[in-house]
Amino acid sequence: MKLVVDACAALPWFIQSPHSEEALGLLREDVAVIAPDLVLPELANAAWKLTQAGKITAHHGRRLVAAAPSAFDRLVVSSLLVDRAFALAEELEHPVYDCMYLALAAIEHATLVTADRHLARKLGASRRELRLRVLGTA
**pTM of the entire predicted model:** 0.92
- The letter for the amino acid at 39 is V
Report phi then psi at 56, rounded to 5.
-135, 160
Average pLDDT over residues 12-16: 95
Ordered alpha helix ranges (H), the chain: 7-10, 20-28, 39-52, 58-67, 82-92, 96-108, 117-126
Residue span of the structural domain in which 118 resides: 2-134
Q: What is the pLDDT of residues 82-114, one digit of tens each?
A: 999 999 999 999 999 999 999 999 999 999 999
The neighbouring-strand residues paired with 112 are 4, 132
How many separate domains does the chain show?
1
Cβ neighbours of residue 20 closer than 8 Å, sequence gap 6 or more:
12, 13
Res 127 pLDDT > 80: no
The CATH number covering residue 23 comes to 3.40.50.1010
Q: What is the pLDDT of residues 55-77, one digit of tens each?
A: 999 999 999 999 999 999 999 99
